[in-house]
Structure 1
Amino acid sequence: MVSGHDPYLVALSVVIAILGGYTGFGLTARIRGTPGVSARLLLAGAAAFLAVGIWTMHFVGMLAAPIPADTVYLVLPTIISFLICALVVGISLFFVSIGDPSLRRVVWSAVLLGAGIASMHYVGIHGLSGNFAIAHDTPMILLSIGIGIVTAYGGLRAFLARQDGVRLVASSIAFGVAVSGMHYTAMHGMHFVPLAEAAHRHAGGLAASQQLLAVIVAVLCFVIAAGFLLSLVPDPRRQPVAAAAPAVAIDPGPQAAIADPPASREPAMPSPRLMPSPLGGIGQPPRAAPAARLPVEGANGTHFIDSAEVRSVRADAHYTRVHDGTRERMCPWSISEAEAQLDPGLFVRVHRSHIVAIPHVSFVRKEGDGAVIELDGPSPHRVPVSRAKIAEVKARLGLARRHA
């Protein structure tokens, strides 16, 4: 059957799978630096684009196949195939988007992703209805599922190794190969068995013609292409960052005064809460020396990172998430313990759930009743500032005068 496929539609199906993978993985890459509801929306969007890419590739491949002319597509199995695919793909992406995924978690995510591709294919195939029966070669079924799992694992590993443009392209190509390879391998092992007219019985339920399916697939191809192009457009809110960063970086006066206070302090220095005395306040025990390193949980145990590399700390239930400018990892400290352990000359709590490293702030602007700041690094990320902390943050950045 593969030899009889339309080569142009086959090429289009592979391109659609790659574009869907690029858009979905691109959204997944942003999840780790995005807190709260936004992260869940990104996860849903990533799963939707990947599922639509898989589903569209499958049916473009079906339009390319030499199937019988009187074939119709049953609507219910077709919709179910998409829903199964979206659910399984969403679960696999969730596994690799939280924390620092271990090898076991990546393997299971690849198995789920491969299973999602295979389930969509075979459920969708059995949505075909006509004067025929469908038979499959068992070895080709197993081979197609194996191809889907192995190439999905390669795509996830490439994606997780480093979230830059080259790796994202590599993982997208691997994803496109996974979907296309699984589909066309399975099609090679599929056969239409003609039925006698008397033995034929039309399946019940709503059905769609090949022409209607072609229109739906064309619209979905446009959606995937539009999502891919939008993912290439830079975020306009990040354009001022490069210009704002030098202004903050070249004004070290307030930060230098905080980091290395002079021998004789003036009353206009920061409040004792920001710069606690080594002897502590009245009735308070002496403060311990700031921690030089922070513990973070990795795939093989607990690791330690230098506090100078920390950009932000985010509360996560009884623990925290530490961002080092590249990714976020879990820390066993609570947000209060982290605040007590970190150097107050370099770190400030800007929100009840967020602590930031002032030297790494590259951008700040007002947003609603509060503000938002961006931390530098290979993967810049933004942190909210509560309204009560705006004045303090401006003072620490040298954007407001201090008065005695």
Structure 2
Amino acid sequence: MEFVDVSHNGFLVVMSCLVALVAGFTGLSMTRDLAAKPVFEKKASVALAAVALGGGIWAMHFIAMLGLQMPILFYYDAAITLVSALAAILIVGAALILLHFTERNRRTISLAGGIVGIGILVMHYIGMAGLELCRAVYTLPGVILSSIAAIALCVLAFGIAYGQRTNRHILLGTLCFAIAVCTVHFLAMAGTRFTAVPSGAEFGPLMSNETLALGVILFSFVMFGACLWVSVTYLPAPEEKTSKSEAGPAGSKPLLQIPCERDGGKVFISAEDVLFVRADGHYTQVYTEKDRLFCVWPVTEAAKRLLPAGFLQTHRSYLVNPVRVTRFERTKDKGRCLFDGDDLPPAPVSRSKLKAIQDALAS
């Protein structure tokens, strides 16, 4: 069997990696803060994210394949090429459903990452099966190395992106996802040889490199547009001007408003009406005299905003409004703050903060 020499166009290699990076950023950003959204909107966001991530895997592969240079003429089977894209989108969609519609823990995140890694492999080898007038011959080390890299790097990417849903972790997860997609492709290609065949058994109509390029360009254009759309959510919100009626007495600061969810809609609760805030996973629960409301702020963000407004952090998971504390109780080396309200739980005070909280409440 005679193999042909192959090389790669450097510009298209760089573009393929850039598309993988943009796809990862777009898909992982679309799934932020889904817990607070209605079920239909949550499903739509997961579907769009699956298209972004799965389609990005497909686009990266075929942009890199457009840069594959061989001394023979070759085409692609259009039907198999389409199947490879759909397979990637469906497998990634299954992983996202697992993450957003079941209990999310370390095992679930690892399983989802492994599924996405398998999706990259499935997409790659189905896409390679679409070659016509040219046949890919795989080596065992190439298949094994690319498989290990796909699963390990995707588990790492999703472990970072879903371990904590902060901007920093999503951006790091995006980088790991792009590295995973690109590494798997080029590791697999390094272990692949190509040989010319006189004819092929077409499953569908043939598609030239020029036609494939048009499809990839169109998808990439949509992907970059979606990237710009989701990137707006990372920009700092403009400061809203407060009218005199909202500002309170002359010289006083405007009242802080906390964004919460009630019956599927957004409401804003004044900080002075809040008794305490409790961490709830990557989000928080806001307690008033009559309500317990969901807030998309993590406890770190709530602390950053509420501590300057006079709240006290009694525990790593609790922020308390000292004005609304009706009684403080101490038991040995721990304490708790009690409030007036219907069936309100107390806010615990950790040992390390006990003296500081006692002094603050006594002043």
TM class by shorter-chain length? Answer: 0.5 to 0.7
* Residues 325 and 375, structure 1, Cα contact 8 Å, conserved in 2: no
Match of 1:171 among 164, 173, 176: 173
Match of 1:308 among 276, 283, 300: 276
* In 2, Cα distance between equivalents of 1:209 and 1:119: 22
Please state if 1:40 is matched with 2:68.
Answer: no
Superposed CA offset, 1:62-105 (max 9, x none): 01112454211111111111111111101111222346522221
Question: For residue 58 of structure 1, what is the amino acid of its counterpart?
Answer: H
Question: For residue 99 of structure 2, what is the amino acid of its counterpart?
Answer: V
Superposed CA offset, 1:296-315 (max 9, x none): xxxxxxxxxxx8324xxxxx
Aligned residues: 281
* Residues 327 and 379, structure 1, Cα contact 8 Å, conserved in 2: no
Superposed CA offset, 1:27-65 (max 9, x none): 112322212211111101111100111110000010111
* Residues 110 and 156, structure 1, Cα contact 8 Å, conserved in 2: yes
In structure 1, what is the equivalent of residue 31 of structure 2? 28
In structure 2, what is the equivalent of residue 203 of structure 1? 202
- Which residues of 2 match residues 242-321 of structure 1 at below 5 A? 250=254, 308-310=276-278
- Which residues of 2 match residues 3-402 of structure 1 at below 5 A? 4-67=7-70, 69-98=72-101, 101-130=104-133, 132-195=134-197, 197=198, 200-234=199-233, 250=254, 308-310=276-278, 324=280, 326-327=282-283, 345-347=289-291, 355-356=292-293
Superposed CA offset, 1:262-317 (max 9, x none): xxxxxxxxxxxxxxxxxxxxxxxxxxxxxxxxxxxxxxxxxxxxx8324xxxxxxx
* Residues 89 and 112, structure 1, Cα contact 8 Å, conserved in 2: yes
What secondary structure, in the 3-state scheme, does the structure 1 residue paired with 2:35 have? coil
* Residues 89 and 113, structure 1, Cα contact 8 Å, conserved in 2: yes
Structure 1 residues 40 and 70 mapped into 2: Cα distance closer, same or farther (>3 Å)?
Answer: same
* Residues 2 and 184, structure 1, Cα contact 8 Å, conserved in 2: no
* In 2, Cα distance between equivalents of 1:257 and 1:184: 57
1:165: Cα distance to partner? 2.3
What secondary structure, in the 3-state scheme, does the structure 2 residue paired with 1:123 have? helix
In structure 2, what is the equivalent of residue 391 of structure 1? none
* Residues 20 and 224, structure 1, Cα contact 8 Å, conserved in 2: yes
Structure 1 residues 37 and 135 mapped into 2: Cα distance closer, same or farther (>3 Å)?
Answer: same
1:173: Cα distance to partner? 0.8
* Residues 284 and 297, structure 2, Cα contact 8 Å, conserved in 1: no
* In 2, Cα distance between equivalents of 1:50 and 1:256: 39
What secondary structure, in the 3-state scheme, does the structure 1 residue paired with 2:120 have? helix
* Residues 283 and 299, structure 2, Cα contact 8 Å, conserved in 1: no
* Residues 20 and 228, structure 1, Cα contact 8 Å, conserved in 2: yes
Question: For residue 183 of structure 1, what is the amino acid of its counterpart?
Answer: H
Aligned sequence identity (%):
24
What secondary structure, in the 3-state scheme, does the structure 2 residue paired with 1:163 have? coil
* Residues 24 and 178, structure 2, Cα contact 8 Å, conserved in 1: yes
* Residues 74 and 206, structure 1, Cα contact 8 Å, conserved in 2: yes
Structure 1 residues 102 and 155 mapped into 2: Cα distance closer, same or farther (>3 Å)?
Answer: same
What secondary structure, in the 3-state scheme, does the structure 1 residue paired with 2:195 have? strand
| Structure 1: gaps (5+ residues) | 260-306, 311-322, 330-341, 348-354, 361-373, 381-404
* In 2, Cα distance between equivalents of 1:171 and 1:180: 14
* In 2, Cα distance between equivalents of 1:194 and 1:251: 73
* Residues 14 and 176, structure 1, Cα contact 8 Å, conserved in 2: yes
* In 2, Cα distance between equivalents of 1:61 and 1:94: 29
Question: For residue 175 of structure 1, what is the amino acid of its counterpart?
Answer: F
Per the normalisation by structure 1, the TM-score is: 0.61
Superposed CA offset, 1:207-254 (max 9, x none): 111011111111111111111111112499x6576859x7599569x9
* Residues 325 and 379, structure 1, Cα contact 8 Å, conserved in 2: no
* In 1, Cα distance between equivalents of 2:103 and 2:208: 46
Question: For residue 73 of structure 2, what is the amino acid of its counterpart?
Answer: D
Structure 1 residues 180 and 251 mapped into 2: Cα distance closer, same or farther (>3 Å)?
Answer: closer
* Residues 287 and 293, structure 2, Cα contact 8 Å, conserved in 1: no
